Amino acid sequence: MTDHHIGLIVPSSNLTMETELPRILRLRESAVPEDRFVFHSSRMRMQHVTPEQLRAMNAQTERAALELADARPDVVATACLVAIMAQGTGYHCTAEDEITTVLRAQGAQAPVVSSAGALLDGIKALGAKRVAIITPYMKPLTGLVANYIEDAGIEVVDALSLEVPDNLAVARLDPADLLDHLRRLDLSRADALVLSACVQMPSLPSIQPAEDAVGLPVLSAATATAYRILTALGLPPHVPGAGSLLGGRLPAPARSAPE
């Protein structure tokens, strides 16, 4: 039995990444009990999802990475998708490289993934060229997310903004409501559905039911992050009941870079 140590960099107001990601990987433990997962977090201050607070949070990245370096994790994931996507297309590569530089300077050799880059990787691993997305953000931030995805060569055919600016309120959204929200999307041209383009908006209980309902691959920022964590660890990305991305039949991705 092997313990895999996962370092997380999360916003201070994030309640979901430290619950949903462990739930995803506990589902994997039920199928592959020889792999266990241990989590270590460093937090960066952010209460409201505004451009100003997102920039201020990103300025704390070096300090958060230094704290995780001391724990010698096996992989580090930075988990605030919009904080990265709001900084301009391709910024996930810059963020991942910044954290990697800090870790290496401290002698920590963990690979680094980001929820922003993971979402692009997950969409591409599914072979999807066109997606529909649901976000909790205000419409201008959703527009930035859509532009970021499109810059990577993936068309966003429709987007739904739930317009919840308070990050704690986002964490309290009922994931079951997503099954109603998705009916407001035009999926006629979509190859896949991003049920939650935000690691703070809970979605795990609705991933497989949504996939069964719409007949398309369904993923979220959280399931995509789990996919990249597993592949970075050299483990098969197999999690039962968590959608096609984690069905264990897709190849490991290369790091997604801007096109």
Residues annotated as part of the active site:
80, 198
What's the distance, Cα to Cα, between the start and end of the chain in Å?
40
Q: How far apart are CA 72 and CA 232, in angstroms?
A: 15
Can you tell me the distance from the alpha carbon of 67 to that of 109, in angstroms, rounded to the nearest whole number? 14
Exposure class string for 191-225: b at 16+ Cβ within 10 A, else e: bbbbbbbbbbbbbbbbbbbbbeebebbbbbbbbbb
As a whole number of angstroms, the distance between CA 14 and CA 198 comes to: 11
Answer yes or no: are the C-beta atoms of 214 and 182 closer than 8 Å.
yes
Strands of the sheet containing 2-11, edge to edge, are: 35-44, 2-11, 75-78, 112-114
Strand partners, 130: 155
Are 19 and 53 spatial neighbours (Cβ–Cβ below 8 Å)?
no
